[in-house]
Chains A and B, each alone.
Chain A
Amino acid sequence: MSDEESGWNLTESDPGVFTELLKTLGVPLIVDDLYSLDPDSLAALQPIRALIFLFKWLPQSGTEPDPSLSSGSGAQYDPDFPGFFAHQVVNNACATLAVMNALGNIPALQSGAPLQELLAFTAGMDAQTRGLVITSSDWLREAHNALTPPSAISLDGLGLPKTSEDAYHFIVYMPAMGCVYEFDGLKRHPIRHGAYEEGGEGWIAKAREVVEARIATYPPGSLEFSLLALRDDPLPSLQARLKELQEAGRGNDSEAAELIVKLANENSKRERWAFENSLRRHNHLGLIHALLVAMAKAGKLEPAREGARKKMQERIARRKEKGEAGMEVDD
């Protein structure tokens, strides 16, 4: 099914967007950016339920390497995987599909009824059917689309050249049945990367190896990627612990102080996400129009047009020099 027919809009792959989707699903997890895989950074975010690796191969970099060709990794397809795995059947739904592949394998997951029912309904289905069922779920699609710009100006179907925002690929790494698994909606089966040690960092240590090996198969600078952590929402436990300390008369000691800082950071991050999400959902046409009219009234529109023309000419000249096709306008 084409993206245009599917009714799934392309979303940003932003932690705020993912977390809002999780909230809609009634799941007490959040998604955070991971800037590093080192033990200290990851320890601060535990318990981590899954790692989401999203990446884009940059076309100027030659042929994309095939990671499955790297031998000795102990990775194997698991066609008999009894857990949840769905194929990606609509490209625009890739982010939500990755989230579903993660959520479907979290034991005893708390969530709202619609998600529970969808997971139960798809139990025992093959990956392709499961993918189709998920993609046809109206409420899930609406939850997904809730964070894309209003369709008043939908650019689907106009045959416009694609910008660099799309075409990210999503892969989930998480523990299941004592092994680290890789769920890639574009592959036939889940991939089992082998068992992990329970102690210490647990499955994270094994996952780190696998992700780093994956990144290393690409020539330096040829990959644009992000790592996200799907983790328990820390707010409830932080708040509960602080309350405990305050009630025990220890509201002024160092642990309480640390908690207050953590809570402040977490809350300001949520506020930033709420701000960005409200902008994402909004139709900005009225604001765009009002600003341009104001510029015109202040006599600033004409000079701005001149400036914009010059900038465009410079940009075109630069592109011709480099011999590149396409045009990103935020250069």
Chain B
Amino acid sequence: MSAAPATILAFKAGRAFRREGTNFVDHSPEKGAIILQKGEDELLHFIWKNRSTGELEEDLILFPGDASFVKIPQAPGGRTYVLKFSSSNQRHFDASTNRDEEFVNNLNMVLQDPDRIPVWQTASTSQPQASTSQTGPSTRAAAPAGTTPEQLAQLRTLVQSMAGNTSQEPELSLNDILTPENVLPLFTSHPDLIPALFPHLPPDLPTPPSAEVLQQIITSPQFRGAVRNFDQALRTGMLGGLVRGLGLPEEAGTGVEAFLRAIQEQSRGEDRMETD
């Protein structure tokens, strides 16, 4: 026995597409909405609907626990979120309304468990969104009555096409950044760096740490292998938890370029601080 599709959550959102071979995302002017719906197949559907044509242009199936929304702090202009699937490299970018937190939390809750009823905390919206017991299709937008046209116009959903993502060539490799040619001159120009690195060296070296040992390590196949491993691991986009141990934001663990951007940020921050 299957029920007619039931909308769990819907809100206005636009789209953007990743420019091939880059990390740039170009906004698309189409007006749309994200609709989370429990379909006739009992599965959770993530749908993007074009509000001008009425067409359902994207229809993704999400399994509970499979996906979550993560805010991208450095995306310029809008409130941009990544819809991340834990089961693949696929990433979808969405922008939410200015009640970001609430929507994201509810969206996460719904994605985790479609049978839970999201509760809205607002004066303007009349009632909570319906749970799945509601029959009949419902595609009303959930944005509160007070949303301005400007805000509506600003909403963009960034959805990335599947094919484009999986055939992506790597932009650059950490192995080409941490080359001896790039690193060794640093030891000459910034000799204070050498002792600062000693705590990061293996504790069981056969000879005590020194500039020469550092040089041998940087040029060793074991170190280069470790850089290569880390580079590959970053490409999976799943190192958010790991990079926090380095004092970096979770976003830094989503790719090589993201990691490098975060490093650049971190180095600026450290200059302003006293380090011991």
Contacts and interface: CB of A to CB of B under 8 A. Distances in A.
Interface of A: 149, 152-153, 155, 158, 160, 163, 165, 271, 274-276, 278-298, 300-302, 304-305, 307-309, 311-312, 316, 327, 329-330
B28 interface: no
A287 B200 contact: yes
Contacts of A294: 186, 190, 193, 196
Nearest to B222: A279
Given A287-B223, A316-B169, 10 more contacts: A271-B206, A275-B206, A281-B204, A283-B226, A286-B200, A295-B182, A301-B177, A327-B170, A329-B228, A330-B228
Contacts of B125: none
Identify whether the interface residues of A are mostly helix, strand, loop, or mixed.
Answer: helix
A309 to B, nearest CB: 5
B162 interface: no
B229 A149 contact: yes
Contact of B177 (A165, A279, A304, A316): A304
B178 A312 contact: no
A311 B263 CA distance: 21
A312 B193 CA distance: 29
A330 B224 contact: yes
Interface stretch (B129-137, B149-157, B264-272): B264-272
Contacts of A281: 202, 204
B201 A280 contact: no
B264 A284 contact: no
B123 to A, nearest CB: 46
B206 A296 contact: no
A309 B217 contact: no
A168 to B, nearest CB: 15
A285 B246 CA distance: 9
A327 B232 CA distance: 12
Contacts of B236: 158, 160
A264 to B, nearest CB: 15
A297 B267 contact: yes
14 contacts: A155-B229, A271-B206, A286-B200, A287-B197, A288-B178, A290-B200, A295-B183, A296-B263, A301-B263, A305-B172, A305-B260, A308-B177, A327-B170, A330-B175
B90 interface: no
B29 to A, nearest CB: 30
Contacts of B186: 291, 294-295, 298, 300
B233 interface: yes
A297 to B, nearest CB: 5
B183 A278 contact: no
B170 A312 contact: yes
